[in-house]
Amino acid sequence: MTLMEAMQARHSVRQYREEALRKEDAALLREEIEACNAESGLHIQLVCGEPKAFSGLLARYGKFSGVTNYIALVGKKGPDLSETCGYFGERIVLRAQQIGLNTCWVAMTYSKVPSAFSVGEGEKLCAVIAVGYGKTQGSGHRVKSVREVVKTEPPYPDWFTAGVNAALLAPTAMNQQKFRFALHGNRVSATAGSGFYTKLDLGIVKYHFEIGAGADAFTWDRA
User: Domain ranges in the chain?
Assistant: 3-132, 147-220
Q: Are 188 and 156 in contact (CB under 8 A)?
A: no
Q: Domain 3-132 - what CATH class?
A: alpha beta
| Identity of residue 164 | V
Total count of residues recorded for the chain: 223
Q: Percent of the chain beyond pLDDT 70?
A: 97
CA 206, CA 84: separation in Å to the nearest integer?
Answer: 10
- Residue 155, preceding peptide bond in cis (omega within 30° of 0): yes
DSSP secondary structure letters along 115-141: GGS---TTEEEEEEEEEE-BSS-----
Q: Which residues of 186-196 are buried (b: 16+ CB within 10 A; e: fewer)?
A: eebebebeeee
**Contacts of 26 by beta carbon, 8 Å cutoff, 6+ apart:** 46, 48
Q: How many CB atoms lie within 10 A of CB 145?
A: 10
Q: Does residue 109 have a pLDDT over 90? A: no
- The angle subtended at Cα 210 by Cα 6 and Cα 149, nearest 5°, is 95
**pLDDT tens column, 42-81:** 999 999 999 999 887 766 667 899 999 999 999 999 999 9
Phi, psi of 105 (to 5 degrees): -70, 135
**pLDDT tens column, 200-210:** 999 999 999 99
Q: Kindly list the strands in the beta sheet with 187-192, ordered across the sheet, starting from the edge strand earlier in the chain.
A: 179-184, 187-192, 219-220
What does pTM read for this prediction?
0.95
Handedness of CA 162, 171, 2, 187 (dihedral sign): positive
Q: Are 139 and 13 in contact (CB under 8 A)?
A: no
Q: Are 41 and 76 in contact (CB under 8 A)?
A: yes
CA 45, CA 28: separation in Å to the nearest integer?
Answer: 13
Q: Percent of the chain beyond pLDDT 90?
A: 83
**pLDDT tens column, 153-197:** 999 999 999 999 999 999 998 888 999 999 999 999 999 988 889
State the maximum Cα–Cα separation within the chain, in Å, rounded to a whole number: 53
